[in-house]
Structure formats: C-alpha cells, structure tokens
C-alpha cells in the first residue's frame, strides 16, 4: 500500500508540475487579437486566397534611383502551381513582351526583336547567389505565408512559425533555409498579410514585398497595391504594382510556345550587359 501511495504521489506531483509548466508557457506565449499565437497563425493561413487563378491589369513602375523610373501597363495572369505571366501589349493590343515564371524557370519573350531568354531556377539562383523557387514567388504574388519546402500551407503548419507582437502588428518568422531568412508582418486586428521579407544571410540584401489597399475579390480580401524593394543594392531597386479589373477567370492558356525563328539569348550575356550598363 505504501508503494502505491508513493507512486500515486509522484504521478500527481508530476502532473501538477507539468500543468504549472504549461501555464507558464501559455503566459509567455503572445496573444494576438484575443487568440493564442498558434490560433492566430492558423487564422492568417486560412485568410490566404484559395483560388486557382487570378487575372487582371497591372500598372508597373520600376524605380532605379538616379537611372530614373520606367512605367508600363501589362496584363497579369496567375495559375496556381503552373504559371505567372506578364504580358505587355501597348500597340493596339499587340503583345511586344511576355515574361513567364513557371516551376521550370523563367522565360522572357521579346517579340519586337524576335529573341528570348530562358533559364531554370537553378541557373537564376547560381547567378544571383540566392535560393528562390516558383512556389515562393507564387506566394508573394498571391499574398500568402509560405515555407520554402511547402507548395501550399495548411493550418497544420501554424506551429512552424515563431510569433511576436509589435504594436498593432504581429510578426511571424519561419525557419531559415541555408541561404535565406523569412519573416512576415501582419495586422493583429484583421490577420491580413501586409509585408513579406526575404533576407540573404550574411549580407544586407533583402527583398521586401508590401501589400495594401485590400478589396474584395470573390468574397475574399486581396491587395490592389503591391510594392517591392530590393535593399542592399546600389541603386536600390523598387517596383510598384497597382492592380485593377481583377478576376478569378481560368479561361486562358497557361503555356507559352517559343516560335522557332526566335533567337535565344543566354542568361550570362544578359547579366554581362546589365553589369556593363551599371559601370557606365
């Protein structure tokens, strides 16, 4: 009987200590909008758009500091897991440039000069010394949280983010990859994703992608304005994107065929030309 009482005592004390420890953890864990950190992160993930496609018009303004700003209007088409397309057609609706991002890589068609650039993500990452993927870029355009090893997040992934409170915002941090760091700023009140940041470890290079002007698209909030900056480069590069006439239409071709008469320009040649331009 004494052994049974001792064993019962040990079990009860262990449970009480575990309960106290759990309570202390809950006290230290930040609460956001009346929710626990994990529940709040689940809310942010569930607010992500679940559409397969998004199309619309986009006004692009590329600012390169002293080199000036280039503005162009384009059509944006996105099909989840397949493609992100920019089509520039200023002359009577005739396309002059198309940029296509897919899981296979990046393709740019210059229809005026009948030439193209095509590169895999491996080539781009080797050239830019980074670690991007199609799914990361897709998540940036779709205004959603992401992890580098996931194609799309579910509520079960909420525990993989660290959360902290910064005034009216909640900051979510994901586990870093070998090369990059990932953090996300959200509105503590609404749970909407307002900013995604990708940093390159050991450098001052950061891709900063901001979202605002949220409006309803197919019963869900979606930003009509996106702005990205690349910090740590000279001059600092900024791209402003104002979206309009958005829809979730999927009646369009997601694959681009390269005409046989087009000349291929190697990525190395493009990068060399770009560097020479900066030197002058």
* DSSP type of residue 158: G
The pLDDT value recorded for residue 270 is 59
Do 79 and 250 meet the contact criterion of CB atoms below 8 Å apart?
Answer: yes
The pLDDT, as a whole number, for residue 30 is 67
Q: What pLDDT is stored for residue 273 in this prediction?
A: 42
The DSSP string of 25-76 is HHHHS-EETTEEHHHHHHHHHHTS---SEEEEEEEEEEE-GGG-EEEEEEEE
Phi, psi of 4 (to 5 degrees): -65, -45
Predicted pLDDT at 128: 67
Residue 271: per-residue pLDDT? 47
> How high is the pLDDT of residue 204?
84
What digits encode the pLDDT tens for the residues 70-115?
A: 899 999 999 999 999 999 988 778 899 999 999 999 999 999 999 9
Closest CA to 62 of 105, 12, 99, 8: 99
Neighbours of 56 (CB within 10 A): 19
Contact between 78 and 138 (Cβ < 8 Å): yes
What is the per-residue pLDDT across 4-17, written as a single tens digit (0 to 9) for each? 334 444 444 443 34
Which pLDDT band, with edges at 50, 70 and 90, does 25 fall under? Answer: very low
Q: What is the mean pLDDT of the chain?
A: 82
Question: Which residues, in sequence order, are bridge partners of residue 244?
Answer: 57
pLDDT score of 140: 95
At residue 64, the pLDDT reads 77
User: What's the confidence (pLDDT) of residue 269?
Assistant: 62
Of the candidate ranges 33-37, 159-163, 209-213, the one whose mean pLDDT is the lowest: 33-37
pLDDT for 244 beyond 50: yes
Q: Which residue has the higher pLDDT, 165 or 128?
A: 165
Q: Are 212 and 203 in contact (CB under 8 A)?
A: no
Question: CA-CA distance, 94 to 116, in Å (whole number)?
Answer: 17
Rg of the chain, C-alpha, whole Å:
24
Q: In what helix (H) or strand (E) does residue 171 lie, and over which residues does it extend?
A: strand 169-174
Of 169, 90, 100, which Cα lies nearest the Cα of 138? 100
Residue 23 predicted with pLDDT over 50? no
């Amino acid at each position: 009987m004494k052994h049974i009482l001792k064993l019962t005592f040990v079990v009860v004390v262990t449970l009480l200590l575990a309960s106290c420890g759990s309570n202390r953890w809950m006290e230290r864990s930040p609460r956001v909008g009346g929710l626990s950190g994990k529940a709040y992160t689940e809310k942010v993930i569930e607010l992500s758009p679940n559409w397969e496609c998004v199309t619309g018009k986009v006004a692009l303004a590329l600012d390169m500091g002293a080199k000036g700003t280039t503005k162009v209007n384009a059509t944006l088409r996105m099909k989840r897991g397949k493609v992100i397309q920019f089509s520039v057609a200023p002359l009577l609706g005739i396309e002059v440039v198309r940029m296509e991002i897919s899981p296979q890589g990046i393709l740019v068609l210059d229809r005026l000069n009948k030439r193209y650039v095509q590169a895999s993500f491996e080539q781009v990452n080797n050239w830019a010394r980074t670690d991007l993927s199609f799914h990361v870029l897709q998540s940036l355009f779709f205004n959603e949280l992401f992890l580098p090893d996931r194609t799309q997040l579910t509520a079960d992934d909420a525990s993989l983010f660290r959360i902290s409170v910064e005034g009216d915002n909640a900051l979510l941090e994901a586990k870093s990859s070998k090369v990059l760091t990932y953090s996300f700023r959200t509105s503590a009140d609404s749970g909407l994703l307002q900013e995604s940041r990708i940093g390159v470890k050991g450098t001052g290079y950061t891709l900063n992608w901001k979202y605002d002007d949220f409006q309803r698209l197919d019963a869900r909030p979606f930003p009509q304005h996106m702005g990205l900056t690349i910090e740590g480069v000279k001059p600092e590069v900024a791209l402003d994107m104002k979206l309009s006439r958005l829809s979730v239409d999927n009646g369009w071709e997601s694959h681009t065929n390269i005409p046989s008469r087009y000349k291929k320009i190697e990525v190395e040649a493009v990068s060399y030309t770009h560097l020479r331009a900066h030197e002058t």
